[in-house]
Amino acid sequence: MPDYKPSNLGSTRCGRGVFYWGKRTYVMGVINVSPDSFSGDGLADVEEAVVKAKRLASEGADIIDIGGESTRPGSTPIPTDEELRRVIPVVEKLAQETSVPLSIDTYKLEVARQALDAGANMINDIWGLKKEPGLAELAARKGVPIALMSNQRDSPCHNIVSVVISDLKRAIKQALSAGVPWENIIIDPGIGFGKTQEQNLEVLQRLEELKVLGRPILLGSSRKSFIGWVLDLTPEQRLNKVTFVPPGDQRLEGTAATIAIGIAKGVDIVRVHDVKEMTRVCKMSDAIVRGV
């Protein structure tokens, strides 16, 4: 594994675009094609999802991440056929109607395969190849980038940062062994995903330690429950007598803080629900941290 040097992050081609790591922070917009999304933004209609994706692109998203299965704590996995039914029509339509690169958020091999065939340009694996090692071989064969996340839902732990680094080293080695080029690997510490609220904060406090891995860092802190925990946004505080406000809508400022601090600590790409607002946060943070 190459030694980390900031200048060695290089670039990653994704669809028609290229991510030049270190130049600026890139924005990944989220499209949840699932009715039970934790953030309250789930969509069930293909046209609605396509319209939203186009809006996110117009607001500054550099890549759109499409997922059909909720990853909220306690969620029930859905059958592969149902996930395919949800995401493939969205990917197909977006691939025809927009030039923004598309990422498929899945840990299922068949979903990833069909999504890439339908026009997706990247795989986002929340299990870091632990559930489906074949995703690395697929990424290598298709020549697409793959984001590898450190997920502790199957193995709660202490010493969280060292565990995350060790887990990501394992995932990187696995991907390289399967033929994925070094420049096509992106790493994600996995905010949430089996970590305690205190551990989520610790990972954010120590994000710069992930630089030892030598790959661009993706941060997915947007609207996560630890933000509500820190800000004391209980369900009762989110319940208006007239209308229910989705919890994610109350976590905008907290998300902005995590994005700004993440950029200061070396994050290269952020996965967010509120693209317009977080693009502005990235631009301001980049002006301070990167001088751009």
- What's the average model confidence in pLDDT over 89-117? 97
- Total domains present in the chain: 1
Query: pLDDT value at position 38?
Result: 45
Q: How far apart (Å, rounded) are the C-alpha atoms in residues 292 and 283? A: 8
- What's the average model confidence in pLDDT over 48-64? 96
Is a pLDDT exceeding 90 seen at residue 2? no
Is 172 a domain residue?
yes
Kindly report whether the global pTM for this prediction surpasses the value 0.85.
yes
Is 62 a domain residue?
yes
Q: Which domain holds residue 143?
A: 22-289
Radius of gyration of the chain (CA): 18
Q: How confident is the model at residue 8 (pLDDT cuts 50, 70, 90)?
A: confident
- What's the average model confidence in pLDDT over 44-68? 94
Is 136 a domain residue?
yes
108 Ramachandran zone, left/alpha/beta (phi>0; psi -120 to 50): beta
Among residues 119, 121, 125, which one has the least CA distance to residue 178?
A: 125
Q: How confident is the model at residue 239 (pLDDT cuts 50, 70, 90)?
A: very low
Query: pLDDT value at position 178?
Result: 98
Greater model confidence, 261 or 41: 261
Q: How confident is the model at residue 43 (pLDDT cuts 50, 70, 90)?
A: low
- What's the average model confidence in pLDDT over 52-58? 96
At 107, which CATH number? 3.20.20.20
Is 17 a domain residue?
no
Is 8 a domain residue?
no
Is 45 a domain residue?
yes
Q: Rounded mean pLDDT of the chain?
A: 90
Query: pLDDT value at position 250?
Result: 84
- What's the average model confidence in pLDDT over 134-151? 98
- Just list the catalytic residues: 224, 271
Is 227 a domain residue?
yes
Among residues 138, 272, 122, which one has the least CA distance to residue 184?
A: 122
Q: How many CB atoms lie within 10 A of CB 127?
A: 20
Residue-wise pLDDT for 169-201, tens only, equals 999 999 999 999 999 999 999 999 999 999 999
Q: How far apart (Å, rounded) are the C-alpha atoms in residues 27 and 62? A: 5
Is 95 a domain residue?
yes
